[in-house]
Chains A and B, each alone.
Chain A
């Protein structure tokens, strides 16, 4: 029998393939005295050349997939490899101490990292991570791991890593990656989100799986159950292979629904849309048959940079998405950040309670110039497609009114400048704070639509930090308390003739689809990988039955009871 490891089920699906160990970020290095320092230096030069070639390719990939700001980072990394400060010190260390190249590189990098870590500037301290990254890349090439680039994959593999960084995932070819398996992370870590959006099974938080697996070993992965089997025996292999086959049949069945309508057998029509974080993700949503973008997170424009994005940069990104969707609706959510995310130039304070603090609309209503630039960019882009604007973290009616005043001011300025925009652009708000859910009937008079953000709504309703593993049992998206709030929101909006969407995780959970349908939800927005599964449920659930199911769920005592109703 193969050895079984249990972790967090992060992305559904099963896979069987050979393991591919992603090089650890800190390779171990030993000090060795060498006879020929010149030969050691020549090795360093070759490794630098190879690393720079790799960085040039990464830069191009980042430019295509992510944009100029992210790509510039790889340019800076290449410059570090050319830097006389770095190369001179490495050469000197090799020649003076007659040590091996690896040791010289590691000691010089460690010193530099220490130097940056000691700087009295938060942003500069983050540069220590860049130096470390450059050092690891150089060491990997020195240790002969030059070919260990994810971009070079030529056969199906299961990626095994401590964790996957954005610079890892940017270069992988989804055609060859059958699953992700990592030591650390939870359902909301970067790896997990990426896996779900690519539709790749993933198990994360396995502890030290990287210490027990070697590249080339066969792994069987069950991303729905959070299981990894190393070197499965024949019986296990047969069982997994049968599951993989079933999954492929199911996938081709679902693929046929790509252009199908999202309508119940008795004629209730809903919209099923995709959530995206960058313009590049539009392709994935369209490939899965998404009818719109129900949530375009604008944060990516603001992160990993030194200054706020200009209106022009934002305009270009929103316009790109508007045009790519060819008239299908796109909801742009205005900046949603708080003290828990590192955006140094916003001057966000460190807070003891960032989730109850200075974040999202609260920041935007306080930093008016920042907000105005974003609103102008969204409005200008609305001329090129069907954009909607949405404000996050609304708690009170006053906040909506204040945000709308800013929007109106931006519109008026554009009118005076003669810049075209969609005069009838729809305005909505996220409902993610229980206070907003309770007064939804009043908020509905102020806007054109709602979108329920279940991740935060569940967190605030049950007073449960979803990243705190000790209380994760309390994070219950289908708890009757949450469902009753969702009902209040939908009823409140419908009474005013407004529509309601949902863009949290719950919207993409097929177990919840029938209940949400029955509560009257009009739009479901989710990661691309869930679109077809949810459409399948909608097409096979009678609206009348869904309403009866929702009514029973609202009367249930516990989330477990609700789940029993769904599975019955």
Chain B
């Protein structure tokens, strides 16, 4: 089983609030792989909007995206691209 992981800094000014979190979860759910997000010493299922919101990740936080599964590499790349784009904000 393939694994991939990368760290990236959250640049958009509002952090991972409702709208970006919702976009992030929608993107994560496009992949078969199990995907996790690690930040502030906690690790959550990246396909869970409640988990994501409960981390209250602000601007400037470095997050680690980890995937396990056949499309792990594509998943991590797509999610990092989304974060790097600042969620279109």
Measured CB to CB, the residues of A under 8 A from B are: 69, 72-73, 75-76, 79-80, 82-86, 112, 115-116, 119-121, 123-124, 127, 130-131, 305-307, 310, 345
Given the known A-B contacts A76-B18, A79-B25, are A84 and B48 also in contact in the complex, defined by CB atoms under 8 Å? Answer: yes
Once A79-B25, A124-B56, A345-B13 are accepted as A-B contacts, the answer to whether A86 and B18 lie under 8 Å apart by CB is no
B22 and A116 contacting across the interface, CB-CB below 8 Å: no
B53 on interface, CB distance cutoff 8 Å: yes
Number of interface residues of B (CB under 8 A): 23
In the complex, the chain B residue whose C-beta lies closest to that of A134 is B50
Beyond contacts A76-B19, A119-B54, A306-B20: 16 other A-B pairs, Cβ-Cβ < 8 A, are A69-B19, A72-B22, A79-B25, A79-B26, A80-B49, A83-B50, A85-B51, A86-B50, A116-B53, A120-B56, A124-B17, A306-B17, A307-B14, A307-B89, A310-B89, A345-B13
With A307-B13, A307-B14, A345-B13 given, is the CB distance from A84 to B19 under 8 Å?
Answer: no
Question: Which residue, B18, B19, B26, B54, has most C-beta atoms of chain A within 10 A?
Answer: B18
CA distance A409 to B14 in the complex (A): 28
Say yes or no: A75 contacts B56, CB within 8 Å: no
A76-B49, A84-B48, A85-B48 known; A345-B14 Cβ under 8 A: yes
- Which positions 23-80 of chain B face chain A at CB distance < 8 Å? 25-26, 29, 45, 47-51, 53-54, 56, 58
Q: What would be 11 A-B contacts, judged by CB atoms less than 8 Å apart?
A: A76-B18, A82-B29, A83-B49, A84-B47, A85-B45, A112-B50, A116-B53, A123-B17, A306-B20, A307-B14, A310-B89
Looking across the interface, which residue of chain B has its beta carbon closest to that of A130? Answer: B18
Once A123-B17, A306-B14, A307-B13 are accepted as A-B contacts, the answer to whether A75 and B22 lie under 8 Å apart by CB is yes
Q: Which residues of B contact A (CB under 8 A)?
A: 12-14, 17-22, 25-26, 29, 45, 47-51, 53-54, 56, 58, 89
Q: How far is the CA of A79 from the CA of B20 in the complex (A)?
A: 13
- Interface majority SS on A: helix, strand, loop or mixed? helix
For A68, the closest partner residue in chain B by CB is B19
Least Cβ–Cβ distance between A438 and chain B, in angstroms:
41
In angstroms, Cα B20 to Cα A235, docked, is 59
A306 touches B18 (CB 8 A): yes
